[in-house]
Chains A and B, each alone.
Chain A
Amino acid sequence: MKSKGRNYFKILRAGINTTYQDLGRNNLYHIGIPFSGAMDKRNFQLLNSLLQNDYNSPVIEFAYQGPHLKYFGKDIFFCISGNVSFKIITKGGVIDGNSYQCYLLKNGDEVDIHSTNKSVYGYFSINGTFGVDYYWGSCSINTQAQIGPNNGNKFSKDLEIEIIDINNSFIKRKLDYLGSTIENIRVIKGTNYDYFSESSQNQFFKEGFKITKLSDRMGVRLEGPKIENIVDPNIKSEGLVKGVIQITSAGDPIIMLSDHGTIGGYPKIATVISADYDRLVQLTPGSNIKFKDVTLEDAETLYKLYQMETHNLISQIK
C-alpha cells in the first residue's frame, strides 16, 4: 500500500559513519569494487525479519555514535539491532529504547541514537522502504569509491531520508537477544603462512593482538608482536577476500573488511572464518583479539551452525 503524503526523517545529527547498507554487490571484484554491504550480517538479517521487510531491504548502518533523527509523516514503526543505547523523544516525554523491539513513531517524534555499547555497528530501519538508488543491484554506500546513494557519501546533517513505502499490515514484534560475543577469532592458515618464521607463527596464535584506532569498513589494523617475514615482504599483487589477514612490511597484521581494496601485495598469514566475521567486525579499538587455528572442514561446519543459530533467532521473534 502506498501511503499518501510525504514521509521522511530529517537528520539532526549524522553520527560518525552513517550509511545505507544491504547485502552488498557481487561479481565486481575484477573491476575493483568490493562486496560492501552491512558489516554485521546477522544483525542486518534480524532487523529486516523483526520489521517483516524483504530480506535484502536497505537499512541504516551506524558506527559508535548513531544519528539523531526527526520524523515527519504518518504513523510508522522503527527498530534497532545491535548493542545500542537510544532515546525516543515524543510529545509525551523521553524514553530509553531497547534493541530488537519495535516502537511507534508519530509526526514530530525523534530517535536519538547515542552509541553502540562495547561494539562498533548498529542498524536502524522501519516497517517499510527507504527511497534509495541502486548501483550494481545494491544500495550499499561505499564511501571510499563514492558508490551508492547520497553520491556515495556518508550521511550529513539536514539530509532527508525519504520513505517510499510503509507496510500498513505490520504488527509490532520483538526478540529477546543479548547479542553474541566470542573468545577467540578462528582462522584458517593463509596461502603465505610459510613466509613467516616459526617463532612468529607460534606467536601469532599464542599471543594476543590489540585492535587499533586505524580501523574502519575497509580494514582493521592490529598491534602486537611483530611478525617476522623470512621470505619476502611483498608478493606479486593478487586478489583479496574479506577476512584475509595480511602482514605489512612493518610486521603488523591488517584484516580486510567489507569495503577492502580488491588487490593486495602483502603476504597472507591467515583468513578469518566466515562464522566469526560478524563478531570480528564488532570488536572495538583497544580490545584484544586472539586467533585460533581451525581446519577448512571445521570452518565449513561452524558456518552451518552459525547460520542455524541465526535462523533459530529469527524463529524466536514474537
Chain B
Amino acid sequence: MIKNILNLGDAALYCDFGSDVNQEINSNVINYFYHIKKLNLKGITNLTPSYNKLIISYDLNIHSFLSLKKKIENIEIKENNKLEKNLIEIPVCCDNNFALDIKRVENKLKLKSEIILEKFFSKNYFCYMTGFVAGMPFLGDLNQEMRLKRLETPRVKVPKGSVGITEQFCNIYTFETPGGWNILGNTPQNIFDTSNQSKPNIVNPGDTIKFYRITIDQYNEIKR
C-alpha cells in the first residue's frame, strides 16, 4: 500500500511505500506501477518505480495535484500485476582488463579475488528497478560480507557492459557513463537494445538475474 502521497514539484506525485529496501516493498511498488500503466490514464506522462517510491509525472494542463492524488488513492489493487517473472542469464568476463576495481574490493572486503567472484556468481539477484541511464538494472541483494561503499571519486567514464557492486546492490552499465560502483567484470551482452522499440530492456523490474562467468575467448566470441 502507498503510505503517503506528496508532490514532487508541481507536476508529479511522490508516492511513498516506506523507507526500507526489500523485495516485499519493491514488489508492491512494481504492482502499482503495472496497474497504473494498464489503466492508461490520460495526462500521465511518466511512471518511475524505484526501491520504495513511485513517481507519477503528469500533464499540468490535464491534472492538478489534488485531483490526481485522489484518483491514485482510490485505486484498489487485488491481483498481482507483474505479468512475467523471468530468469535471465547474463555472461560476465572477469578478465583483468574488465575487473577494474577487483584490487580495491579485495582490500576493502579482506577477501581473495577468487572468493569474491565465487560468492558473486553463486547467487541470483532480484531486479528492483531500471533507470538512471537507459536500461540500467539495479539488482540485489549481495551477501553481507560482499558489501562495500562506492568509489571515493567516481569514474568520469565507466565502460559499457561493466558489472559493478555497491552496498547491497549490483548493476550493469548499459551505456558508457560516469559512475562510482566497484567494477568486477564486463558483459558482452547488449542489455539495452535501442532498435527493439517494443522491448528494449533485457532486464525488467521483478526479474531474476543469474550471472555466469565466461573466459575472454568466450567474451570475444559473443561480442563478434
Residues of A with Cβ closer than 8 Å to B? 26-33, 35, 135-136, 144-147, 152, 188, 190-191, 236-241, 243-244, 261-264, 268, 271-274, 296, 299-300, 303, 307
Q: Quick one: given A135-B194, A262-B132, A296-B10, are A236 and B19 in contact (CB under 8 Å)?
A: yes
Residues of B4-21 whose CB lies within 8 A of A = 6-12, 14, 19, 21
Contact between chains at B175 and A145 (CB < 8 Å): yes
Q: Quick one: given A29-B46, A262-B132, are A241 and B55 in contact (CB under 8 Å)?
A: yes
A302 to B61, CA, bound (A): 12
Judge if B27 is at the interface, Cβ distance under 8 Å.
Answer: no
Q: Which of A28, A33, A136, A271 contacts B9 (CB 8 A)?
A: A271
Judge if B197 is at the interface, Cβ distance under 8 Å.
Answer: yes
Q: Which of A238, A273, A300 contacts B65 (CB 8 A)?
A: A300
Residue of B nearest to A307 (CB): B61
Judge if B88 is at the interface, Cβ distance under 8 Å.
Answer: no
> Chain A residues near B61 (CB, 8 Å)?
307
Residue of A nearest to B178 (CB): A261
Contact between chains at A191 and B14 (CB < 8 Å): yes
A33 to B37, CA, bound (A): 16
Within the complex, what minimum Cβ distance (angstroms) separates A244 from chain B? 7
Judge if B138 is at the interface, Cβ distance under 8 Å.
Answer: yes
9 A-B pairs with least C-beta separation: A239-B48, A271-B9, A239-B55, A299-B10, A32-B131, A29-B46, A262-B131, A263-B131, A238-B50
Judge if B47 is at the interface, Cβ distance under 8 Å.
Answer: yes
Residues of B78-137 whose CB lies within 8 A of A = 129-136
Residue of B nearest to A241 (CB): B12
Judge if B57 is at the interface, Cβ distance under 8 Å.
Answer: yes
Contact between chains at A243 and B53 (CB < 8 Å): no
Residues of B with Cβ closer than 8 Å to A? 6-12, 14, 19, 21, 33, 37, 44-55, 57, 60-61, 64-65, 129-136, 138, 174-175, 177, 192, 194, 197, 200-201, 204-205
> Chain B residues near A188 (CB, 8 Å)?
7, 9-10
> Chain A residues near B174 (CB, 8 Å)?
32
Within the complex, what minimum Cβ distance (angstroms) separates B223 from chain A? 18
Contact between chains at B19 and A303 (CB < 8 Å): no
> Chain B residues near A238 (CB, 8 Å)?
48, 50-53, 55
Q: Which of A32, A136, A144 contacts B136 (CB 8 A)?
A: A32
A190 to B55, CA, bound (A): 14
Contact between chains at B138 and A31 (CB < 8 Å): no
> Chain A residues near B37 (CB, 8 Å)?
27
Q: Quick one: given A29-B57, A31-B200, are A236 and B8 in contact (CB under 8 Å)?
A: no
With a 10 A CB-CB cut-off, give which of A35, A263, A273 has the most chain B CB atoms: A263
Within the complex, what minimum Cβ distance (angstroms) separates A264 from chain B? 7
> Chain B residues near A190 (CB, 8 Å)?
8
A239 to B197, CA, bound (A): 22
Within the complex, what minimum Cβ distance (angstroms) separates A13 from chain B? 27
> Chain B residues near A146 (CB, 8 Å)?
175, 194
Contact between chains at A27 and B200 (CB < 8 Å): no
Contact between chains at B7 and A27 (CB < 8 Å): no
**19 A–B contact pairs at CB < 8 A?**
A27-B37, A27-B44, A27-B45, A32-B131, A32-B135, A145-B133, A146-B175, A147-B134, A236-B52, A239-B50, A241-B55, A241-B57, A263-B50, A263-B131, A273-B9, A274-B9, A296-B7, A300-B64, A300-B65
> Chain B residues near A237 (CB, 8 Å)?
50-51, 129, 132, 138
Q: Which of B9, B33, B130, B201 contacts A241 (CB 8 A)?
A: B9
Residue of B nearest to A261 (CB): B132
> Chain A residues near B204 (CB, 8 Å)?
31
Q: Quick one: given A236-B21, A268-B8, A274-B10, are A145 and B47 in contact (CB under 8 Å)?
A: no
Contact between chains at B134 and A30 (CB < 8 Å): no
Q: Which of A26, A31, A261, A268 contacts B201 (CB 8 A)?
A: A31
Residue of A nearest to B30 (CB): A30
Q: Which of B9, B14, B55, B130 contacts A243 (CB 8 A)?
A: B9
Q: Quick one: given A30-B131, A32-B135, A274-B9, are A300 and B49 in contact (CB under 8 Å)?
A: no
> Chain B residues near A262 (CB, 8 Å)?
48, 131-132
> Chain A residues near B48 (CB, 8 Å)?
29-30, 238-240, 262-263
> Chain A residues near B57 (CB, 8 Å)?
29, 241
A136 to B132, CA, bound (A): 18
With a 10 A CB-CB cut-off, give which of A35, A146, A239, A264 has the most chain B CB atoms: A239
A29 to B131, CA, bound (A): 7
Q: Which of B21, B52, B132 contacts A32 (CB 8 A)?
A: B132
Contact between chains at A261 and B133 (CB < 8 Å): yes
Contact between chains at B14 and A236 (CB < 8 Å): no
